[in-house]
Chain A
Amino acid sequence: MTAGRERVWRRYLRVWRRNPREDVAEEVQFHLEIEIEELVAGGLSRADARALALAQFGDVSQAISECTASDQRRLRRYHWAQLLDAMRHEVKYILRGFTRRPSFTLTVIATLALGVGANAAVFSIVDRVFLRPPAAVEEPTELRRLYLLRGTMPGAGSRFGLPQAHAIATQVGTRFPTTIYDGGDRTLIELAGNTTRIVNADWVTPNFFRVLGVRVAAGRDFDDADLRFGEAPGSVIISWNFWQREFAGDRTAIGKTVRVRGQPMTIVGVAPRAFRGIDVDAADIWVPLNGSRSVTPGIRAPRYEDRGTSAWQLVSRVPAGESEQELPILAREAFRVELREHLSARPKSRWARDTAAIVEAGSIVAARGPAKLSQAMSIVALLAGVAALVLVIATANVGNLLLGRAIQRKRELAVRLALGMSRTRLGAQLVLESAVLGVLAAVAATVTAIWVGGALRSLLFPRTEWAGDPVDLRIALFAASIGIAGGVIAGLVPAFELLRSELNGALKSSAREGGGQRSRVRAALVAVQSALALVLLVGTGLFARSLQNIRNIHLGYDIDRVITVSPRDSIAEARLPVLAASARSLPGVLSVALTGMAPLEGRYGAVLGTVFTPEGDTLRTLGPVGAYMVVEPAYLATVGTRILRGRDLIESDRRGSAPVIVIGEEMARRVWPGQDPLGQCLRWPKRDAPCYTVVGVAEDVHGFAVVEKASPVFYVTLEQSPDRLTGDVEVGGMVVRVAGDPAPIVRQLRTALRSGNAPDVDEPVALMADVLEPQYRPWQLGARLFFGFAAIALILAMLGLYSVLAYVVTLRRHELGMRLALGATRATLMRLVVGDGLRHVAIGAGVGALIVMIAARLVSSLLYEVSPRDPAVIAVATLVLLLSACGAALLPARRAAGVDPMAALRED
């Protein structure tokens, strides 16, 4: 059988060398010649015979081209089969080599897997956030998101106030079907039997699915009757996952009633399986936006009239044949007209500055749009770069290891060359060998990426429910391709070295000669690794400093001891005084104060407007930045805001006694610059209102954010509040100061307020520190991730250094022995080796510092009050790197010192 195959092969090869077309032509030529000869022999004239033979043959050129095509197909297939066969042999040989050196192979695979795994994990996020358009959407390239640039509203970017969104959608809608939605709203949903779930709700216009070209899998789509401005929505479409999870895919789910935010709604349809909304955050339910998001009773402003809540996003489709440029022009026009109308009705509106805003159409993938990236998204982008650095370091390390082994294998390779293998073939074999290592590493990396990716996801986007697994085919392909690329690049290092060098001499020589050249290459690789490791160490330092700086910001509260209670509806608000009374009796509670508004609630206090002098003249217009807090006297002491001068509010500051206020420092600076505010008096909120005397100055507080500018604020007691005079006092919040562990008291308050079943949705009872925690997160995250990557980088670089030095010591045993014999001390030898190592690392550190200087501005926006070129951070990072290098050099140095001079000299 084997012999037969062999013969066939040879036959094929003979054909292969020929041109198939010539081959076929010759065959046909032969046929026609014989045919004509036979016909002539039968008595025909040569011309007649020729004509008859041709007629009998049919279309000659067609037959030739069909036969040629067939031959070519066959030969191509054969060629590939042969190539694969050769590869299989080669790979088998390589794998056999690996099993002979398991520790070397494992080291290489682990190193590459670290690099590839880091990248695959990050890519799984980059892919979702930046690259992939939403799934299951028809013609995603036709979809555009509208962005609002240079808007003054908080959240401007891709979000609009509903009046504006509505005006734009109406204006462009006839030519560019446009939908308005607010995605990723954490919402409480009640199913049958008192089960409640927190889901991600998208509030959408009824044309949402039609614009996206998504057809419901069951039930019906929304129709225009589902949108009733000012009324509660009555219908909801649920996601496939939610349907499976909560209803086990039962068809009778359609038509069932659920309560969304307490409002009964009918499930009318199920979205198709693959469709999980158009944001990174997967949606569970879609509800027609009815104008008021909060359907709980006691809501104050109907949302659909609220310009201040810029929550709404616009997505338009540019149908084939429509000009893409027209969309933003129309949208801009609609935005301007709407704003003009608004300003003509209310000329002093705070949105007046929005005349400078621009509406732009951009990618449906929000992270690729023209708006500024969110912090988490910026970190993703930075992370991609950092992961790439780790891969470079890992690749350099593997190149280093492979080169080291190639030198060890010099004799084997020389033998193979001597036996007639070409240098190119040998080089290709080495590259293939490392590519195989890359594939193995990619497999290992994909496995690690599954859990690393999952962990990264929840770290970066803690509240995001991701559509799809962290690792899918795309990620695996990505891992495989960078694994192979890394392996091949690493394999090129020894391959080039081998092709360059004179291997024939290796047959005769010992390891002593020709090593210097190659250890220079290896030293360069160590320098590269050190440089990149330094960059990551500096990054770690910068984020750690930022985190430290931001943690040190004094907010004006004792956030670890204060619980805020801020009910979401007027019924619960009415119960606050009772709750306060019972809270005071709880063990562990130090003090309790009721307030008009709990702190950290989006803004601090009620809008102040203008304050007046005792004479009734305008003292100062503070506008929307100024605020007042109506509080019980114990408030400031309870939240931990210190009184800097004068006195705090006291129980006797009640109705009937002289009206007093305590003001914040910023208020003092703005209203009475350069004067002593104590004893000053102001009338407010009207010119003829009582005059409030300033009795104390409190430190400034942060209204809602960790990073914010101080704003003017003052405090007045509930009893003396001017609202009291109109009988319209609102107690909207409560603060509780605890002595020990706040957790049990938070639990008790939640139970008392019956809010405990929805811990995630606008939780009304929370420790201040927990409310603020998400704001510290980006910095914490940056520090942690950089630390992780820097640690990997440092370990890899030091392994590289160790292996080079260990090799050099082996190489120089003879020389070292000689030195010892000539009187050098062992300490000198150790210094020699360590110095050698430090030199490579120091060069790398220098290059790394240079990279830091150049790349600084990439991270500056992610740092807080620390320069990206901070000299202290760079110095510490360099020190860490050099100390690690000393550590890595110590072992080879000890070995150098332990050389037995006699043995070394006797060798070879």
Chain B
Amino acid sequence: MTTPIDLLQGTLDVLVLKALSWGPQHGHAVSRLIRATTNGTFDVRDGSLYTSLHRLEERGWVESEWGHSDQGKRAKFYVLTTRGRQQLRNELASWRRYADAVSLMLSANQAPS
């Protein structure tokens, strides 16, 4: 197993938005989703994850509501708002441009003439 990578705050926010794009989740489920989907690449403390959720709520990108978990316990569920969905789309687009550019450079075989 390789050493987990530290995550920048902004990147964590995007991951959370993405996790919520599949439907309302409580915090624990978001944590599990991120860890499972990224094969544990990132070293995400759950504490930072909750801070991120509340930050996103403050910005109006997600909303929260108390509900009941599968086990029937009271849990706080987060759901993307319209603005949050828009934000995720923007982040995705810019991420793709960024990743494409980096990979173009890194995979280049020779200097352009």
Task: Tell me the A residues contacting B by CB distance below 8 Å.
Answer: 8, 11, 14-15, 23-24, 26-28, 30-31, 33-35, 56-60, 62-63, 66-67, 70-71, 73-74
**Seed contacts A8-B63, A31-B31; 6 additional CB < 8 Å A-B pairs:** A11-B65, A33-B73, A57-B46, A67-B51, A73-B58, A74-B58
Smallest Cβ distance from A63 to chain B, in angstroms?
3
A67–B54 contact, CB under 8 A?
A: yes
B69–A63 contact, CB under 8 A?
A: no
Name the residue of chain B whose CB is nearest to the CB of A60: B47
Name the residue of chain A whose CB is nearest to the CB of B76: A27
A34–B28 contact, CB under 8 A?
A: yes
Name the residue of chain A whose CB is nearest to the CB of B59: A74
| Chain A residues with CB below 8 A from B57, complex form | 70-71, 74
B46–A58 contact, CB under 8 A?
A: yes
A58–B45 contact, CB under 8 A?
A: yes
Q: Is B74 an interface residue (CB 8 A)?
A: yes
B50–A31 contact, CB under 8 A?
A: yes
| Chain A residues with CB below 8 A from B27, complex form | 27, 30-31
B51–A66 contact, CB under 8 A?
A: yes
The 7 closest A-B pairs by CB, nearest first: A58-B45, A63-B47, A58-B47, A67-B54, A70-B54, A57-B46, A74-B58
Q: List 9 A-B residue pairs with CB atoms under 8 Å apart, sorted by A's residue number.
A: A24-B54, A26-B76, A27-B76, A28-B50, A30-B73, A34-B73, A63-B48, A66-B54, A70-B55
Residue among B31, B53, B64, B76 facing the most chain A CB atoms (10 A cut-off): B76
Name the residue of chain B whose CB is nearest to the CB of A11: B65
Q: Among A30, A63, A73, point to the contact of B76 (Cβ < 8 A).
A: A30
| Chain A residues with CB below 8 A from B69, complex form | 30, 34
Q: Is B15 an interface residue (CB 8 A)?
A: no
Q: A27 vs B75: C-alpha distance in the bound complex, in angstroms?
A: 7
A58–B48 contact, CB under 8 A?
A: yes
| Chain A residues with CB below 8 A from B65, complex form | 11
Interface size on B, residues (CB 8 A): 25
| Chain A residues with CB below 8 A from B76, complex form | 23, 26-27, 30
Q: A23 vs B57: C-alpha distance in the bound complex, in angstroms?
A: 14
Q: Is B18 an interface residue (CB 8 A)?
A: no
| Chain B residues with CB below 8 A from A24, complex form | 50, 54
B50–A56 contact, CB under 8 A?
A: no
Q: A24 vs B55: C-alpha distance in the bound complex, in angstroms?
A: 13
A57–B45 contact, CB under 8 A?
A: yes
B55–A31 contact, CB under 8 A?
A: no
| Chain B residues with CB below 8 A from A26, complex form | 74, 76
Smallest Cβ distance from B1 to chain A, in angstroms?
15
Smallest Cβ distance from A39 to chain B, in angstroms?
12
List which B25-45 residues lie within 8 A (CB) of chain A: 26-28, 31, 45
Name the residue of chain A whose CB is nearest to the CB of B66: A14
- Known: A63-B51, A66-B51. Contact between A31 and B58, CB under 8 A? no
Smallest Cβ distance from B110 to chain A, in angstroms?
46
A62–B47 contact, CB under 8 A?
A: yes
Name the residue of chain B whose CB is nearest to the CB of A53: B46
Smallest Cβ distance from A457 to chain B, in angstroms?
51
A30–B74 contact, CB under 8 A?
A: yes
| Chain B residues with CB below 8 A from A11, complex form | 63, 65
Q: A8 vs B50: C-alpha distance in the bound complex, in angstroms?
A: 21
Q: A70 vs B58: C-alpha distance in the bound complex, in angstroms?
A: 6
| Chain B residues with CB below 8 A from A23, complex form | 76
| A-B pairs with beta carbons under 8 A, tally | 70
Q: A71 vs B59: C-alpha distance in the bound complex, in angstroms?
A: 11
Q: A59 vs B54: C-alpha distance in the bound complex, in angstroms?
A: 16
Smallest Cβ distance from B7 to chain A, in angstroms?
13
Residue among B55, B58, B74, B75 facing the most chain A CB atoms (10 A cut-off): B58
Smallest Cβ distance from B48 to chain A, in angstroms?
6
B46–A56 contact, CB under 8 A?
A: yes
Name the residue of chain B whose CB is nearest to the CB of A26: B74
Q: A33 vs B46: C-alpha distance in the bound complex, in angstroms?
A: 13
List which B43-99 residues lie within 8 A (CB) of chain A: 45-48, 50-51, 53-55, 57-58, 63-66, 69, 71, 73-76
A30–B26 contact, CB under 8 A?
A: yes
A31–B46 contact, CB under 8 A?
A: yes
B54–A56 contact, CB under 8 A?
A: no
B50–A63 contact, CB under 8 A?
A: yes
Q: A62 vs B51: C-alpha distance in the bound complex, in angstroms?
A: 9
Name the residue of chain B whose CB is nearest to the CB of A15: B64
| Chain B residues with CB below 8 A from A59, complex form | 47
- Known: A30-B74, A56-B46. Contact between A35 and B51, CB under 8 A? no
Q: A63 vs B51: C-alpha distance in the bound complex, in angstroms?
A: 6
A35–B28 contact, CB under 8 A?
A: yes
Smallest Cβ distance from A71 to chain B, in angstroms?
6
| Chain A residues with CB below 8 A from B63, complex form | 8, 11
Q: A293 vs B104: C-alpha distance in the bound complex, in angstroms?
A: 81
| Chain A residues with CB below 8 A from B46, complex form | 31, 35, 56-58, 63
B50–A27 contact, CB under 8 A?
A: yes
Smallest Cβ distance from A558 to chain B, in angstroms?
85
| Chain A residues with CB below 8 A from B75, complex form | 27, 30
| Chain A residues with CB below 8 A from B28, complex form | 30-31, 34-35
Residue among A33, A60, A62, A63 facing the most chain B CB atoms (10 A cut-off): A63
| Chain B residues with CB below 8 A from A33, complex form | 73
Q: A31 vs B26: C-alpha distance in the bound complex, in angstroms?
A: 9
Q: A59 vs B46: C-alpha distance in the bound complex, in angstroms?
A: 9
Q: A24 vs B57: C-alpha distance in the bound complex, in angstroms?
A: 13
- Known: A11-B65, A26-B74. Contact between A71 and B47, CB under 8 A? no
Q: A70 vs B66: C-alpha distance in the bound complex, in angstroms?
A: 18
- Known: A11-B65, A27-B27. Contact between A71 and B54, CB under 8 A? yes
Q: A58 vs B57: C-alpha distance in the bound complex, in angstroms?
A: 21
Smallest Cβ distance from B65 to chain A, in angstroms?
6
Smallest Cβ distance from B30 to chain A, in angstroms?
10
| Chain A residues with CB below 8 A from B50, complex form | 24, 27-28, 31, 63, 67
| Chain B residues with CB below 8 A from A73, complex form | 58
Q: A423 vs B65: C-alpha distance in the bound complex, in angstroms?
A: 35
| Chain B residues with CB below 8 A from A31, complex form | 26-28, 31, 46, 50
Q: A23 vs B65: C-alpha distance in the bound complex, in angstroms?
A: 11
Name the residue of chain A whose CB is nearest to the CB of B60: A74
Q: A11 vs B62: C-alpha distance in the bound complex, in angstroms?
A: 13
| Chain A residues with CB below 8 A from B55, complex form | 70
Q: A30 vs B48: C-alpha distance in the bound complex, in angstroms?
A: 16
| Chain B residues with CB below 8 A from A67, complex form | 50-51, 53-54
Name the residue of chain B whose CB is nearest to the CB of A63: B47
| Chain B residues with CB below 8 A from A15, complex form | 64
Smallest Cβ distance from B77 to chain A, in angstroms?
10
| Chain A residues with CB below 8 A from B54, complex form | 24, 66-67, 70-71
Name the residue of chain B whose CB is nearest to the CB of A73: B58
A57–B74 contact, CB under 8 A?
A: no
B58–A56 contact, CB under 8 A?
A: no
Smallest Cβ distance from B24 to chain A, in angstroms?
13
| Chain B residues with CB below 8 A from A30, complex form | 26-28, 69, 73-76
Q: A73 vs B54: C-alpha distance in the bound complex, in angstroms?
A: 11
Name the residue of chain A whose CB is nearest to the CB of B53: A67
Smallest Cβ distance from A58 to chain B, in angstroms?
3
| Chain B residues with CB below 8 A from A14, complex form | 66
Q: A643 vs B66: C-alpha distance in the bound complex, in angstroms?
A: 108
| Chain B residues with CB below 8 A from A62, complex form | 47
Q: A31 vs B31: C-alpha distance in the bound complex, in angstroms?
A: 10
Q: A28 vs B75: C-alpha distance in the bound complex, in angstroms?
A: 10
| Chain B residues with CB below 8 A from A74, complex form | 57-58
Q: Among B26, B47, B53, B71, point to the contact of A57 (Cβ < 8 A).
A: B47
Smallest Cβ distance from B52 to chain A, in angstroms?
10
Q: A8 vs B69: C-alpha distance in the bound complex, in angstroms?
A: 21
Q: A27 vs B57: C-alpha distance in the bound complex, in angstroms?
A: 15
| Chain A residues with CB below 8 A from B64, complex form | 15
| Chain A residues with CB below 8 A from B73, complex form | 30, 33-34
| Chain A residues with CB below 8 A from B31, complex form | 31
Residue among A31, A57, A60 facing the most chain B CB atoms (10 A cut-off): A31
Smallest Cβ distance from A1 to chain B, in angstroms?
10
Q: A683 vs B52: C-alpha distance in the bound complex, in angstroms?
A: 107
Q: A49 vs B110: C-alpha distance in the bound complex, in angstroms?
A: 52
